[in-house]
Amino acid sequence: MKDVTETLIPRAINWNRLEDEKDLEVWNRLTVNFWLPEKVPLSNDIQSWATLKDHEKDLTIRVFTGLTLLDTIQNTVGAPALMPDAVTPHEEAVLTNIAFMEAVHARSYSSIFSTLCSTKQIDEAFRWSEENPHLQAKAKAILNTYAPGQDPLKRKIASVFLESFLFYSGFYLPMYWSSRAKLTNTADLIRLIIRDEAVHGYYVGYKFQRGFEQQGEARQQELKDYAFSLLFELYEIENHYTEELYDGIGLTEDVKVFLHYNANKALQNLGFEALFPAEVSEVNPAILAALSPDSENHDFFSGSGSSYVIGKAVATEDEDWDF
């Protein structure tokens, strides 16, 4: 160890000398998007919560406990595990931001719980999360790849799958409630989490692509095979997890389509092609609208609106425009 420390000069991070512009771009995005759960008026959902049936409440608490577990893993293990593999000092700084925001996410679910649920309900759900074989299986599959000594690029693959795929069996439910005008403030908070996870998956996927392009052909094939086989393994688990949670409410098939759609997006973050064909990945429009409210475009090619409609844009404050 002594030899190693002697050869390393401690270096102060210089944000005015970038090796990769993407580091600053993502740092800026993440810091501007910073938020805390206190910003969302969760207590406005108390009345709406009371209209849910008991099994719907149980489902919701379990789903959020499952999400808490994934955020806890990313906060304490996942993001820190990527730091030794960082290729720029700025990447390390971005990862510290990611790690902290995962803690904010994990903390947010407890804010939802303390607003809406009894201590008994909360404790039961946390016990459930420790005993549920499918939730535990997915947590362990990811944790194995994060272990010390594992392949840095494979670790990034696992991280992107967690950020861009594994969360979505859970994220589906608040989007579903929101599409039915229930728990809408909770949905606002979840959308903030979704937004963050999208940047995380994008950034780690980007760093994966930079590492991937420097590998030889055989190694690239190995990484690609690994990515698809890990995705299949996680997909199997997600199917079971989804059935167990959503069969009782009759939403399993709808959630599975959402899983396919998000698995394809996770692969795209890694620079790979989509896996699931369009027929099984066309998400319920109500869920898509809940994901990105007020962003509906009446565009020309879909033939949804009258043709050749000029976009109605949000005012831009950007000084860079000359006209």
Partner 1 sequence: MTAVDALGGEHSTAAATTLELVYFSSRSGNTHRFVERLDRPAHRIPIEQDEELASQGGPFVLICPTYADGEGKGAVPKQVIRFLNVSANREALVGVIATGNRNFGATFALAGRIVADKCKVPLLYSLELAGTDTDIARTREGLAKLERELCSTAI
- Cβ distance to partner 1 smaller for residue 109 or 202: 202
Residue of the chain from 19, 33, 39, 247 that contacts partner 1 (CB under 8 A): 33
Place of tokens 């007020």: 294
Of 106, 116, 194, 251, the one binding partner 1 (CB under 8 A) is: 194
Q: Is 224 exposed, middle or buried (0-12, 13-18, 19+ CB in 10 A)?
A: middle
Answer yes or no whether residue 210 interacts with partner 1 by CB under 8 A.
Answer: yes
**211, 136 Cβ separation under 8 angstroms:** no
Are the C-beta atoms of 210 and 87 separated by less than 8 Å?
A: yes
Residue recorded with tokens 């993502």: 26
DSSP 77: I
25 binds partner 1, rule: CB under 8 A: yes
Whether 240 and 219 have beta carbons less than 8 Å apart is answered as no
Using CB under 8 A as the binding rule, whether residue 229 contacts partner 1 is answered as: no
CA–CA separation, 165 vs 267, rounded Å?
Answer: 9
Would you call 168 a catalytic residue per the annotation? no
Looking at 22-30, 86-94, 102-110, 111-119, which segment touches partner 1 (CB under 8 A)? 22-30
Q: Applying CB under 8 A, does 308 fall inside the site for partner 1?
A: yes
DSSP state of 15: T
Q: Is 209 in the site for partner 1 (CB under 8 A)?
A: yes
Instruction: Tell me which of 109, 172, 202, 206 is the catalytic residue.
Output: 109
Spatial distance between the Cα atoms of 176 and 251, rounded to a whole number of angstroms: 10
> Does 165 sit near partner 1 (CB under 8 A)?
no
Which residues contact partner 1 by CB under 8 A?
Answer: 22, 25, 28-29, 32-33, 35, 191, 194-195, 197-198, 202, 205-206, 209-210, 264-265, 268-269, 271, 274, 277-278, 281-282, 288, 291-295, 297, 299-302, 308-314, 316-318, 320-323
